[in-house]
Amino acid sequence: MPLHVLRRGVLALPGLALLGHVRVRAGEAEPFLLGIASGEPGARSVVLWTRLATEWRGGGMPPEAVPVDWILARDEAMRDVVRRGRVMAMPEDAHSVHVEVGGLEPDRPYWYRFAALGAASETGRTRTAPAPGAAPARLRFAVASCQQFEQGYFGAYRHMLAEDPDLVVFLGDYIYEASWGRNLVRSHEGPAARDLAGYRDRYALYKTDPDLRAMHRACPWLVTWDDHEVSNDYADDRGERESGEPFLARRAAAYKAFWEHMPLPEAARPNGPSARIYRRAAFGDLASFHILDDRQYRGYQPCVKQGYGGGGHVTRENCPALDDPGRTMLGTTQEAWLRDGLSVERARWTILAQQTRMARLGSLGTPHTYWTDGWDGYPAARRRLLDTVAATRAPNPLVIGGDVHAHIVSELRPDFDRPETPPVAVEFTGTSITSQGGRYAVHYPDDPHIAYADGRSRGYVTMTLTPHAATAEMRAISDPRDPGAAVSTPRRYVVEAGRSALLPG
């Protein structure tokens, strides 16, 4: 839908009055360069987001509050208006707005739009969740992660958009704070992000990608973060080469920029270097998402070099700390929160949305080596989690993850050395939107719980839930460096309700 920009007279936009005292003049850039988005769909609520900016570097906005009008309607033509209002876009929040709209009808689409400075945004579509106790026939959602701007175009979202999902679940690495990789097709056009201005510019640059903006307009998103929203392989208050107060200052800036650019509610606003983003989202009695944060509260990776943080490859023989039962990925408070939630879970499908691969993955040969920045670096914490899943009997648990730039499909057991025991959950790890991979082969003979592993392809996962089965399609694009890349489905799997086991699709 074309943008409507006021040149003279009054902007003709049904149900939306532009009351701002500042206007966009002819020839000036429009203020919705970074697009619009929605998120956090509840049965009667949703969050609407935008950030006013006329240029990605620095935002291009005056250092003053700007009124922003918003409208929500039952129809795309915006004639059947159900809610409207005005909020102030504040310079201290990079002129971002997070409108929490309540009092809506469950399980139905809505359309929304913003207006400010004499200009109107494009129209977005969102959707509320089914009501508690409702039994929807289907939920279709996409799983995405790891979109390095320099390494490719976000064409995967063009194919995702054509599938018309009800929801996107984004599992981290929305931006990359630093440059890396080979055969780059675009540039960050600046140094690594380390302060608030740097992180803001990085998000803004990423949001100039038209396919990413289109996917945000199409449906609500649930988002969490991983490491590159702050710094590679960080754990709690330690990065690879900095720790303590200097790192926490960097983390505070990164968390602030994350909140400013995501469709998150006021409750997720950071307080300095802290932000509560683990939460739950229910879709009637069909599905419940437990959205986790495995960065902010995790213990340090074990057996790192003196003066360094981050991950590394270790063996049990040379790293006794690997099996320390006191080490945690989620922190004790979040572990207890998850245990309490799983104990009362009654939705047909229980989904743990977390950042990385949970299945154990040893290297070929002896002794096995393990990468410490993922769950393999926290085996006792992983076993506690999977024991909790088994003990609570949460219905039909599915784990979704990202981070490792590979499609990996697994059956999860508390003890991976006992493949004869029944799995307690099934995991679908999605490959990256663009971020380079290639380390994973198709078959791991000494990891029989892994059904499929392929790091050669970029793409996403599409999942369809019904009361009877969950179907996962591993979607792969032909070349992220090609804006017109094709898409294919190299693997499809089905999990039947009542069985934590993989079947070919």
Residue 330 and residue 185 share a domain: yes
Residue 149 and residue 111 share a domain: no
Burial 36-49 (b: 16+ CB within 10 A, else e): bbbbbbbbebbbbb
Provide the pLDDT for residue 5. 28
Measured from the Cβ of residue 339, the count of other Cβ atoms closer than 10 Å reads 16
Residue 145 and residue 46 share a domain: no
Provide the pLDDT for residue 306. 84
Taking a C-beta distance cutoff of 8 angstroms, is the pair 196, 256 a contact?
yes
- Domain interval for residue 43: 36-127
Provide the pLDDT for residue 307. 81
- Low pLDDT (below 70) residues in the chain: 1-28, 363-366, 440-445
Q: Would 394 be classed as within a structural domain?
A: yes
Residue 178 and residue 84 share a domain: no
Residue 149 and residue 44 share a domain: no
pTM of the model: 0.94
Identify the sign of the CA torsion 22, 24, 26, 27: positive
Provide the pLDDT for residue 13. 44
Q: Would 446 be classed as within a structural domain?
A: no
Residue 378 and residue 242 share a domain: yes
Taking a C-beta distance cutoff of 8 angstroms, is the pair 472, 428 a contact?
yes
Q: Would 176 be classed as within a structural domain?
A: yes
- DSSP string computed for 319-383: -GGGG-TT--SS-HHHHHHHHHHHHT--SSEEEEE-SS--S--PPSSSS--EETTSGGG-HHHHH
Q: Interior CA angle at 409 toward 408 and 411, to 5°?
A: 135
Q: Would 408 be classed as within a structural domain?
A: yes
HSE-CB of 81 using CA atoms within 13 angstroms: 13
Residue 234 and residue 90 share a domain: no
Provide the pLDDT for residue 192. 98
- Of 127, 161, 182, which closes a domain? 127
In eight-state DSSP terms, residue 34 is: T
Q: Kindly report the backbone phi and psi dihedral angles of residue 388, in degrees, each rounded to the nearest multiple of 5, phi listed first.
A: -65, -45
Residue 318 and residue 231 share a domain: yes
Provide the pLDDT for residue 505. 80
Q: Would 241 be classed as within a structural domain?
A: yes
Provide the pLDDT for residue 380. 97
Domain count, the chain: 2
Residue 90 and residue 153 share a domain: no
Q: Would 439 be classed as within a structural domain?
A: no
